[in-house]
Amino acid sequence: MEKINKIKNFINLKNLDGYIVPKNDEFFSEYVPNHKDRLKKISGFTGSYGFALILKKENYLFVDGRYTLQANKEVGKRFKVITIPKKKPEHILKGKNLKIGYNPQVHTEENLKRLFLRTKCKLFEVKEGNLINQNNFTKKKIIKVFKLKDNEAGESIRSKLKKIVANLNKQKLDLQFITSSENASWLLNIRSDENQYTPIVKSRALVDKNGKIYLFLDSNNIKHKLFKNFENVKIIDVKFIKLFLSRIKSKKICIDKNTCSIYLKNILEKNNKIIYSVDPIYLLKSNKNQIEINNIKKAHLLDGVAVTRFLIWIKNNFEKKRISEIKAQNKLLKFRKEFKKFVSLSFPTISGTGANAAVIHYRASPQTNKILKKGELYLVDSGGQYKFGTTDVTRTISLKNYDDRIKEIYTRVLKGHIAVANFKIKKNTTGSQIDLAARNFLKQKNLNYNHGTGHGVGYFANVHEGPQAISIGNKVKLLKGMVLSNEPGYYEKDKFGIRIENLIILNKSSKKNLKFENLTLVPIDKSLIIKELMSMDEIKWLNNYHKTVFFKLKKFMNYKEKSILKDQCSNI
């Protein structure tokens, strides 16, 4: 409460009625380093998305449906947890004329409009200073930035830059300000070890119409020879970004309002004409080139071996040994680390059994750590960063659970998964159309799940990457080379959780039409399937999938594992 009271004192000092504390840092990254995680510091909430609204007498924590159960457990009675988009600030602040402060460095104009436009409140920029006492955070580590080779990236910086410059000249613009770190990293083929789960370099880039690139990052540990073969790049320490941008005058500058902070926008807006447009890199990097596709498949082969060996170990040992959720996730990490090309996890592993699996983005802790027991389900959602790809896979396995209702729900989730994999892609197909197909079999029993069916995935980059997604609101046209997750599920509070997730890629079929191709190579638990609920086409899909999994993985297994894998991949 001490930290919250400090904010309330700040509110009174600034003559405000409230203050907004977001999850993100000034780079709007999904995974925020501990020394910049303001929201965790004041609330204890550890999820990857959310924001707090601190008022004089009340505290609200806004999260989406993935985190409702988790947030309620983590923040206790200090905050009222609100699930968006069911409820938004406009519902909490209805009819109130309040003055609410925010730090312009960690908010975009677009996001504040989306959240507070329908309220009568007035928003005020304030200098946060050391309000949330960030000096007590873990100190940031020394980072290493490295460049991908052309045979790893699949496309040179020169080739990528040519596309950005062409777009600038087409629109008669002088500069493109790339404020998304993932996009700057893609353009310059750079990665780093700064973040625990993503190799993205926290950076921004300014590209001029003549092909000059100004890269803003923490340059303390950057080798000056990073771009020795490409002289068009000039590295500028990020602490001088305000000074550099303020010297730009009388230019037409394109910025993405979804990733450019109000602070940076204000600097450029003083002396230049701002053009708002979605950063073209989002779409460019979503279309994976053939080298990226080949490398991604290599990553999924290694990951499939690790996850499959882990699931075999779980099935063989959960009755013999006391296996906790934490012990299980550590064992999975050990299997992945056996491959030299493994770099890190791509997100915190979700290892949940029984009631814990009902928490969609559950993270096992010493306080919640359960032992895997006979009769329950075990859900494990995990992914890896390899030097040539990013993976994400979820499997729900039976710990000798024979409940017919659970089997029916599991089968319906699987049917939804297959419906996504087999969806006929047309010229203007979007993720919103596919999302409906994924939910159809659950909705027949008035069941549903409170998250999107799939997200875009990067290439040795962010595991969650747009613009494509399989979700109700996503209207982005699906194109060749896009990688997405396919993960319908179902969750009952305090009882169980089910999710089946593969990564899939849009590829051309023999008829030159687009279709989804599975990337993930991990068996799906057949013991939870009610065959009678499956159509002949669905059975054929599952049998073919398992045939591929066995063919690809068998040479990596020892004799005993190979025998078990053969049984797991046999026809139903």
Interval 244-278: pLDDT, tens: 999 999 999 999 999 999 999 999 999 999 999 99
The amino acid at 483: V
Instruction: Give yes or no for residue 138 having a pLDDT over 90.
Output: no
pLDDT band at 1 (very low <50, low <70, confident <90, very high): low
Identify the H or E element spanning 8. helix 2-13
Rg (CA), the chain: 24
pLDDT band at 91 (very low <50, low <70, confident <90, very high): confident
pLDDT band at 3 (very low <50, low <70, confident <90, very high): confident
At a CB cut-off of 8 Å and minimum separation 6, what does 405 contact? none
Two structure tokens written together for 375: 């009769």
User: Which pLDDT score, from 0 to 100, does residue 131 have?
Assistant: 64
At a CB cut-off of 8 Å and minimum separation 6, what does 540 contact? none
Q: Percent of the chain having pLDDT more than 70?
A: 96
User: Which pLDDT score, from 0 to 100, does residue 130 have?
Assistant: 58
Question: Tens digit of pLDDT for each residue in 341-358?
Answer: 999 999 999 999 999 999
User: Can you say whether residue 400 is alpha, beta or left, with left for phi > 0 and alpha for psi between -120 and 50 degrees?
Assistant: left
pLDDT band at 223 (very low <50, low <70, confident <90, very high): low
Question: Tens digit of pLDDT for each residue in 279-332?
Answer: 999 999 999 999 999 999 999 999 999 999 999 999 999 999 999 999 999 999
The amino acid at 154: G
pLDDT band at 162 (very low <50, low <70, confident <90, very high): very high
| Residue where the block lists tokens 């928003």 | 123
Q: Report the alpha-carbon distance of residue 167 to residue 172 in Å, rounded.
A: 8
Domains of the chain as residue ranges with CATH:
2-136 (3.40.350.10), 145-285 (3.40.350.10), 287-568 (3.90.230.10)
Mean pLDDT, residues 539-548 taken together: 98
- Helix and strand numbers (H, E) in the chain are 17, 27
Mean pLDDT, residues 398-425 taken together: 97
Q: Report the alpha-carbon distance of residue 571 to residue 568 in Å, rounded.
A: 9
Mean pLDDT, residues 419-435 taken together: 95
pTM summary value = 0.90
**CA-CA-CA-CA torsion sign (560, 565, 568, 570):** negative
Instruction: Give yes or no for residue 222 having a pLDDT over 70.
Output: no
Q: Please state, rounded to an integer, the average pLDDT across all residues of the chain.
A: 92
In degrees and rounded to multiples of 5, residue 449 shows phi and psi of -135, 150
Beta strand pairing call for 483-486 and 502-508: antiparallel
Mean pLDDT, residues 382-397 taken together: 97
The H-assigned helical ranges of 117-173 are: 150-153, 157-170
Q: Report the alpha-carbon distance of residue 231 to residue 87 in Å, rounded.
A: 51
Question: Tens digit of pLDDT for each residue in 92-116?
Answer: 888 888 999 999 999 999 989 888 8
